[in-house]
Amino acid sequence: MFFFTYLARELRRRMRQAIFIALGLAVGVGLVITVTAASAGVRNAQAGVLKGLYGVGTDITVTKPPPAFNPASGGGPGPAGSGTRVTLGPGGAEVCTNNKCTHGAQSLDTLSGDASSPLSAATVGSIGRLHGVAAAAGGLSLTDRQLTIPANLGQPGSSLPQPVSFTVQGTDIATAARLGPLSDATLASGREFTAADADKDVAVVDKNYAIATNLTVGKTITVAKTKFTIIGLVAQPQGSTPPDVYIPLARAQALGTSTGNALTGQVNTIYVTAASASDIPAVQQEIARLLPTVTVTTPSSLASQITGSLSSTAKLAGDLGTWLSILVLIAAFAVAVLLTMAAVSRRVREFGTLKALGWRGRRIVAQVMGESMAMGLLGAAAGVGLGFAGAAIINAIAPDLTAILTQPTGEHIVTPAGSSNPTVSHAVAVPLSASVSAAAIAAAVLLAIAGGLLAGAFGSWRISRLRPADALSKVG
């Protein structure tokens, strides 16, 4: 009991010094918590973007690169003569699809999945049986493009209307709730897919796309000239880039593409979840061995392709923030050590008196260490408060981050100068929400206590260098 009574008395006697040391440690600890909270917010934002692309539980996606461009195909991959070609002449527009040509006004509605080549649906089962794979599901990521060609196109005064396009996801209804883009969606109105919908012309539409195009439950949407009844609207997490329309996988396979190729028994994206996070690298290697020609993508590899302010902030928080925290902690520890050693030098008379009263050196050292630990705990408490304040300030003033993901469209453009493969960039605004975790608080408290103990250790070393005769000579 005397230990704590004496400790409290000494802290009150040297309150200014104790407060100064505690505040120094608090600033260091608070900065560590703030930087950690900001880094966690950036990581959560990045994870939200990736989860929006993949879906809940999806660790790996498997796709196959598109086939080589064939100039004779009329602007798309595949055998000569496939695809759609529009030729302008004195008599108007001539549209040729799969070597069938027509003239006059036309409405084109084509479905393409050219950004990746089809894979056999049986491949999904093969991947699902690999060691370390918990589940696998196939899907068709497609784009529907609609264009109205006027009869007088190519004549003076005519113009080509702006084409309309939207993304379509052929969804494996049996696994939609567990894997793939639809697994992260929340039902906003209507109903979800059921097993009975597998072969029906029904669709679930993203809520934001439905608002933009004035679609509601019960209305129809045309996909590849086939009308689908909207049975539900779903909302995706903020910061994601979900497909616009979801239809049953079997119906998407039956629609075929603009090249005239049916997709029966095929998928172009396979979503895989590993048994554990540690299994992801091994599963990635197994899939690459099983299918040497495919592209195996994980969230970590896709994260490196994300640009914009989200990427810049992640680097800033990870590099500059970490080094700044380390430098401030070193400065705080140095101040605490120097002040403690100076205080020990000024307390020579006190220690001499204690020795005269029969205190052993170990007891004096324990007293100094106790005082230093108390100041460390005070610094930890104040530092946690500063850390929460810093995180709140970041959340209040930080602008939304921008994540830009550039992906190939799968289209080919031919010009007199040569051919090119255009890409499309998806830009999404992601709010930065700095979050303070229990682990960060625990680490900060340990750092503050470590700083106090370090200061106490140097103070104890200074005490050990005091000769008893010098200490006792100060007693008067």
Which tens digits make up the pLDDT trace of 132-148?
999 899 999 888 888 77
Of residues 72 and 107, more confidently modeled = 107
| Burial classification of residue 454, based on how many CB atoms lie within 10 Å of its CB (0-12 exposed, 13-18 middle, 19 or more buried) | middle
Same structural domain, 345 and 404: yes
- Residue 251 — pLDDT band, cuts 50, 70, 90? very high
The percent of the chain in helix, strand and coil, each rounded to the nearest 5, is 45, 25, 30
Are both 145 and 14 inside the same structural domain? no
Q: Do residues 81 and 214 share a domain? A: yes
Residues 204 and 327 in one domain: no
104 φ/ψ angles, rounded to the nearest 5 degrees: 90, -170
> For the whole model, what pTM was predicted?
0.58
Q: What is the pLDDT of residues 436-468, one digit of tens each?
A: 878 778 877 787 778 777 777 777 766 666 555
Count CB-CB contacts under 10 A for residue 453.
16
Classify residue 191: in a domain, yes or no.
yes
Assigned domain for 206 exists = yes
List the end-to-end C-alpha distance of the chain, in Å, as a whole number: 28
Residues 92 and 168 in one domain: yes
User: What does residue 229 show for φ and ψ, rounded to 5 degrees?
Assistant: -80, 130
Q: C-alpha distances in angstroms, 372 versus 269, 343, 402?
A: 60, 11, 46
Mean predicted lDDT score pLDDT of the chain: 74
In-domain check, residue 306: no
Asked if residue 253 is part of any domain, the answer here is yes
Using pLDDT thresholds of 50, 70 and 90, give the confidence band for residue 211.
very high
Residues 226 and 83 in one domain: yes
Work out the pLDDT band at 286, boundaries 50, 70, 90: very high
Q: Please check whether residue 305 lies inside any domain of the structure.
A: no
How many Å apart are CA 416 and CA 406, to the nearest integer? 26
Q: Are residues 292 and 343 in the same domain?
A: no
- Domain end (from 227, 262, 297): 297
Tokens of 15: 């309150």
Is 231 found in the same domain as 99? yes
Query: Can you list the alpha helix ranges (DSSP code H) found in 75-197?
Result: 122-128
Last residue of a domain, one of 297, 322, 346: 297
Domain that holds residue 84: 60-297
- Residue 304 lies inside a defined structural domain of this protein: no
Residues 71 and 21 in one domain: no
144-185 pLDDT, tens digit per residue, is 888 777 766 656 656 666 678 898 999 998 887 778 888 888
Look at residues 297, 324, 351 and tell me which one is the last residue of a structural domain. 297
The answer as to whether 54 is a domain residue is: no
Mean pLDDT to the nearest integer, 284-291: 92
CA-based diameter of the chain, in Å? 118
Measured in whole angstroms, the distance separating CA 211 from the mean position of its chain's CA atoms is 26
Mapped onto helix, strand or coil, the DSSP state of residue 64 is: coil
Query: In angstroms, rounded to a whole number, what is the distance separating the alpha carbons of residues 45 and 401?
Result: 8
Our measurement of the distance from residue 460's CA atom to the centroid of its chain's CA atoms, rounded to an integer in Å, reads 48
Q: How big is the chain by its Cα radius of gyration, in Å?
A: 34
Percent of the chain surpassing pLDDT 70:
60
Number of domains present in the structure of the chain: 2
Asked if 164 and 236 sit in the same domain, the reply is yes
Q: Does residue 207 sit within a domain?
A: yes
- 285 shares its domain with 338: no
Following DSSP, what letter does each residue of 369-383 receive, concatenated? HHHHHHHHHHHHHHH
Same domain, 106 and 207: yes
Strand partners, 205: 233, 245
